[in-house]
Chains A and B, each alone.
Chain A
């Protein structure tokens, strides 16, 4: 185990040596780059990274440039998790055989993928990696939509979200299905650590990433990534939207240890109504029409229920 990086304050954190360059093609206000930098800056360990096809990948490794100052691989849309699992297997093999070039260093293996590449097309690959117990961390950059291809719905898109394949229209309020509960599904694999994080809660993020990188075995992190383009808010408001998401409890922050022990890691001092979170984003604009207002009420009820469930699980401690 390497030495855990001490981070005193945000200034120090944000000026840590960057292994992810600011020179990339992501949209202004995109939370992906914030989250990636938070994950990478949480550790001083060597990193071997992957990205599945998606915004992060197409915006950071366009030949002949790269934004990555750590080894990085992209294969396809569905298999980024298995790519780092393969690299981790090679690390183990070369270590055993005494062929590592830097035998005294222990790199960490992290894959980044969007919700489309994790909840949908890459679901099986991630499940396989979690079940087999590779010593890897999979981080979902969850913007609840196929943003890279123009905003199509994924199984992470929440009810009522208007996307290009579940558009709100004269007779439709947009997405009809509930968001898939990936953290629970991944925890059900019995993995040592799964957690939900958000870019605005950087201390919580750092703690979880550091724990996840130190623990032996597969780790699943679901990172909320507000998308200025598809959620339709002003690029300057990314952190404000993140605050609304965590403080309305639409995105509760918690962790599940060893597949069952749940800890809530952030309790807003003042819980704000879900309506405020929805009102701040263009993708939910239509919900404020008279005929769809009941959906906002239903949404609040769902969030309340979810919060109650999380609290009860935490109390039960099992």
Chain B
């Protein structure tokens, strides 16, 4: 039976996993090589069902580990076609070696990461410690805050990654369970519109072009390794953002939905702001609105939409007039300030006027971040802004049992 297109409602009730699965179906991936792991498993299961029901024309490799999943993706991508997979947590950790290989070989693979804590202790719930592993791996990284974002950002990820000026793999991350298993209304694209937005895959240095043999994955030692890595870094620093902007613009034109490299909520006249990722962005935005109304705090929220390349200049524009900033990391830094604290500090360090910055570690292993927690953070920020200096420790833990933990 020939593969068929699917008729979708204008708004479907999907969780983040289903949104990712449908986006993967609609872009007509040539090879998916995957291994199931909670909480990303339904992406692979949904895709298997689409295949079983005749909605997938491509190949599906159900392999024996996440390392093999990405290895299969690399071989398939180098052969010359559209490739994607999905994983979480321990699976991502096992896959890590191959993430560097995929990006170093400039293969435009799309990886859906459904966030989950890293063991030990074993935990299946969402936090950002797994995706923090990927920061230096040379992948473009988009972060979704809800199922609609997961769906939309998948199309954008393929479009940017496969652009011949970019040729780098891309991650779309979503919060385990909070996004991946929470059904919400998702505005859909019909199959043709979705496919046409990304377009037909255009191969480059494809192994299957039998008249033009190509060698992939060479050895370079001290004589050439540095140049390769420098070129990759250069392309991430200079070529990716313009392509992301282009894709965001085109997507807005098509759907009316606007994405930005740095997302801002209530930031026009904000004096204090929270920087965070994932589902927490929406929670924080709601609290900011309430505190503006109820307590007169000029609160705003900065959501990291693109974690890599790191939007250094874009963030400078957003934070330069703030008095105090809280960086919220959903990952234990294990002996250091959190990643967002360090990277935001880097953003402001050479500005004429710098906000006071502190750091909160929260939500590990799926612990809820409540509106009460977020309100406390904004009140800390207000105190720091009024004092013009830290009135709190540099780093605090939110919502952990026992005496309050704070450091530095």
User: What residues of chain A have their CB less than 8 Å away from a CB belonging to chain B?
Assistant: 46, 48, 50, 57-58, 61-64, 66, 68-76, 78-79, 82-87, 89-94, 96-97, 99-102, 105, 107, 124-125, 127-128, 131-132
A84 to B83 alpha-carbon distance, docked (Å): 15
**Contacts A86-B79, A105-B210: A75 and B74 contacting too (C-beta < 8 A)?**
yes
Query: How distant is B27 from chain A, measured CB to nearest CB, in Å?
Result: 13
Query: How distant is B375 from chain A, measured CB to nearest CB, in Å?
Result: 48
**Contacts A57-B219, A71-B214: A76 and B71 contacting too (C-beta < 8 A)?**
yes
A99 to B220 alpha-carbon distance, docked (Å): 33
**Contacts A58-B219, A61-B219: A124 and B68 contacting too (C-beta < 8 A)?**
yes
Say yes or no for B242: interface residue by CB 8 A criterion: no
Q: Is the CB of B208 within 8 A of A91?
A: yes
Contact of A61 among B67, B211, B218 (CB under 8 A): B218
Task: Indicate with 1 or 0, residue by residue over B211-232, a CB within 8 angstroms of chain A CB atoms.
Answer: 1011111111100100010000
Beyond A90-B75, A124-B64, 10 additional contacts (C-beta under 8 Å) are: A62-B220, A73-B74, A90-B59, A91-B79, A93-B31, A96-B57, A97-B57, A102-B209, A124-B65, A127-B64
Interface hub of A78, A87, A102, A132 (most chain B Cβ within 10 A): A87
Q: Is the CB of B209 within 8 A of A93?
A: no
Q: Is the CB of A86 within 8 A of B76?
A: yes
Q: What are the residues of chain B within 8 A of A124 when measuring CB–CB?
A: 64-65, 68
Q: Is the CB of A48 within 8 A of B217?
A: no
Q: Is the CB of B68 within 8 A of A125?
A: yes
Q: Is the CB of A86 within 8 A of B218?
A: no
Contact of A94 among B61, B77, B80, B213 (CB under 8 A): B80
**Contacts A86-B71, A89-B76: A71 and B218 contacting too (C-beta < 8 A)?**
no
A64 to B219 alpha-carbon distance, docked (Å): 9
Contact of A87 among B65, B67, B78 (CB under 8 A): B78
Q: Is the CB of A73 within 8 A of B75?
A: yes
User: What residues of chain B have their CB less than 8 Å away from a CB belonging to chain A?
Assistant: 30-31, 33, 57-59, 61-65, 67-68, 71-81, 83, 97-98, 101, 105, 206-211, 213-221, 224, 228
A82 to B71 alpha-carbon distance, docked (Å): 6
Q: What are the residues of chain A within 8 A of B72 when measuring CB–CB?
A: 82-83, 85-86, 89
Q: Is the CB of A75 within 8 A of B31?
A: no
Closest to B67 in A: A79
Closest to B101 in A: A75
Q: Is the CB of A79 within 8 A of B98?
A: yes
A62 to B101 alpha-carbon distance, docked (Å): 16
Q: Is the CB of B30 within 8 A of A94?
A: yes
A50 to B74 alpha-carbon distance, docked (Å): 12
Q: Is the CB of B75 within 8 A of A85?
A: yes
Closest to A83 in B: B75
Interface hub of A57, A75, A76, A125 (most chain B Cβ within 10 A): A75
Q: What are the residues of chain B within 8 A of A107 when measuring CB–CB?
A: 208, 210
A305 to B68 alpha-carbon distance, docked (Å): 37
Q: What are the residues of chain B within 8 A of A76 when measuring CB–CB?
A: 71, 97-98, 101
Q: What are the residues of chain B within 8 A of A63 when measuring CB–CB?
A: 218-220, 224, 228
Q: Is the CB of A75 within 8 A of B98?
A: yes
Q: Is the CB of A82 within 8 A of B218?
A: no
Interface hub of A62, A73, A82, A99 (most chain B Cβ within 10 A): A82
Q: Is the CB of B217 within 8 A of A61?
A: yes
Q: What are the residues of chain A within 8 A of B213 when measuring CB–CB?
A: 68-72
A68 to B217 alpha-carbon distance, docked (Å): 12
